[in-house]
Every structure is written in C-alpha cells, then in structure tokens.
Amino acid sequence: MNDNICIKNVTVSFTAKAGIVQAVNHIDAIFNSGEITGIIGETGSGKSVLGLSVLRLLAENSRVTGNIIYQDRDILQLPAQELNQLRGKTIAFIPQNTDTAFNPVMTVGRQIGEGAAYHHNIPQAAARRQAIEQLRRYAFQEPQTVAARYPFQLSGGMRQRALCAMSTALSPKWLIADEPTKGLDAIIRRQVFQLFHDLKASAGISVMLITHDLRLAEKLCDAIFVLYAGTVLEQGTAGEIFAGPLHPYTRGLINAQPHKTLTPLPGMPPSLIDLPAGCKFQPRCSCRKSICRLQEPPLQAINGRRQVRCWQYA
C-alpha cells in the first residue's frame, strides 16, 4: 500500500444558471507521497476545485466522476464516516481564505485543540496544552499569548501560520494548501516557504500546493502540474518545468512574472460553459496550427516524468 494520491480521469462540473460549468476535465494525476507537488495555472483554471475534490469538499451543485485512489480505496466512494476520519486526520486542507477558515468567536488555541479533542477524545485542558505546543512548533515566540487571541487579533502572516498549526495538529500524512502565500508580504512569504519546507523535511508531510506564486513553486516543489481550463497542459519536475517549459501556456505563465519579462498572456481564459474545440489553449496560442483547432492533443510523455499536451510535440 502506498501513500500516493492518484487522481484518475476526474471530471468536475457544476450546474449553474447559465449552464454546465466544466471546471475539471478528465484529469489524471499522481501526487507522490514524500513530495511537494505544485498545481499552477491562471485564475479559474480549476486548481481549487481539484484540491477540494480530493476531500469531497465541493459545493452542492457539483458532480464529480472518476476515481481518487488513496491507500487502495476510492475516496469518492468512501462512506461518510470514513470520509470524516480521513479529513483532517489523514489529509488536511488549508483553504484559500484564512479569514473564513477560523471561527471568529473562538480563540485560536481553542480551535487548534478542538480537532484533537474531537478525534482523540481528550479533555479540554490537555487539548489546550497540545495546542500551545503546536503553536510553539510553528515558530510562535509566545504561544500562550497567541492561543488566547481571537483570529482577527493576528496579522495575516500569523494567521497563516496558525492555520498551518491547526491543520497539522493531528499529524496528517497529507496537506492540501490552497494559496498559502496569498496577500502576504515578502518576509512572511519566506516564513511560509520555510514552514512548508520543514513540514516535508521534518514532519514528513506530503503536500499538494495550489499557488499563483511561481517562485515559491519553483523553490519548494518537487513536481508541478500546469492547469488550464480544467486540463493538465504540462507536468514534470519543478526543475524541468521552470528551466525549460515546453507548452506555450507554461512559457507564458513564467514570462508573465514580475521578475521575468512581465509580459501578460494575451487574451482571456475560455468560458467553461462553452469550451473551444481542439486544444483548449489554441484561441490564445501564438504557435497554433490548423490541427489545434480540430483535435485536442494528447498528454504525451517526453522523457521521464515529463508530459505535455501540445501538437508541436506530437
């Protein structure tokens, strides 16, 4: 039995007023245990939806097909009770918005202790002591003081760290983190980088890292999946992807960064209600050939782990 998370032919659609939103389209992806795997892509490319689908945290109007295999079981088929055991205890999720992740009227320490109290049935006082230890681990100099505070009394960076402390309080095997550096300044981003680095190195936690922060992804991740309109356009090791992106979209994402050429990708992502024919990126692609409009290219292995979905390489 391995600890990888295997996503097999997963499709997620939402029923909306305007029609069926095809947010994730036939994604196959293996997230290797012991590694940090980055999911990158423009806004609306399906990163959060993919992450949420792993713990079945999607909204009511969603429909998910395919398999998400973890420890020889399909998470999508787990009965509610086993799913609850998995959530938080084995696979933890850090949502995109740290403001809503906390209960605003409960102290930070109490919230960190709650999970332990619930899953391990331990008394309040002991849970509180554990919470303080957990905060100390996350580099809080005065964990007692922080534990007594309410979420709004913490700065953005502290809240992010407190959220990591809460999410990993039950020593999960996996952490799915959605935009953990969003809205944080450079110094705090470095702290978050260090935090994730230590999670993997010291705590042995495997991570699925959803991010717009390509520099963070490059430094932190072992592997990368590049998403566009709910489809994987390229995947590989972080070294491969950042040193030599193959897909025009990946090249565009990398070049759009402030420390690169700051050239934005031309055009807009497609409507997920009415996806373009052929390659989903073709309407915006400078390398487009006539076949690109007609047929979607397969995701093809180039060498090793590397795969790209583009007719240039087919």
Interface positions with Ni ion (CB under 5 A)? 47-48
- Taking the least distance from each CB to ligand ATP, the nearer of 44 and 236 is 44
- Taking the least distance from each CB to ligand ATP, the nearer of 22 and 206 is 22
> Which residues between 169 and 198 bind ligand ATP (CB under 6 A)?
none
Write the binding mask 200 to 239 for ligand ATP: x where contact by CB under 6 A, - elsewhere: ------------x---------------------------
Write the binding mask 264 to 283 for ligand ATP: x where contact by CB under 6 A, - elsewhere: --------x-----------
- H-helix or E-strand spanning residue 50: helix 47-54
- Taking the least distance from each CB to ligand ATP, the nearer of 22 and 134 is 22
- Taking the least distance from each CB to Ni ion, the nearer of 119 and 182 is 182
How far does Cα 5 stand from its chain's mean position?
13
User: Minimal distance in Å, beta carbon 96 to ligand ATP?
Assistant: 6
Q: Which does 73 bind (CB under 5 to 8 A by kind): Ni ion, ligand ATP, none?
A: none
Among 18, 59, 80, 186, binds ligand ATP (CB under 6 A): 59
Q: Which residue is nearest to Ni ion (CB)?
A: 48
Closest-CA residue to 40 (of 233, 264, 243, 273): 233
Q: Does 290 engage in binding with ligand ATP (CB under 6 A)? A: no
- Taking the least distance from each CB to ligand ATP, the nearer of 15 and 103 is 15
Of 25-33, 46-54, 105-113, 248-256, the window that binds ligand ATP (rule: CB under 6 A) is 46-54
Amino acid letter for position 63: R
User: Minimal distance in Å, beta carbon 159 to ligand ATP?
Assistant: 18
DSSP string computed for the chain: ----EEEEEEEEEEEETTEEEEEEEEEEEEE-TTSEEEEE-STTSSHHHHHHHHTT---TTEEEEEEEEETTEEGGG--HHHHHHHBTTTEEEE-S-HHHHS-TTS-HHHHHHHHHHHHH---HHHHHHHHHHHHHHTT-S-HHHHHTS-GGGS-HHHHHHHHHHHHTTT--SEEEEE-TTTT--HHHHHHHHHHHHHHHHTT--EEEEE-S-HHHHHHH-SEEEEEETTEEEEEEEHHHHHHS--SHHHHHHHHTSTTTT--PPSS-PPPTTSPPSSSTTGGG-TT--HHHHHSPPP-EE-STT-EE--GGG-
Q: Does 46 engage in binding with ligand ATP (CB under 6 A)? A: yes
Among 38, 44, 143, 245, binds ligand ATP (CB under 6 A): 44
> Which residues between 5 and 34 bind ligand ATP (CB under 6 A)?
14, 16, 21, 23
By the criterion CB under 6 A, which residues form the site for ligand ATP?
Answer: 14, 16, 21, 23, 41, 43-49, 59, 61, 212, 272
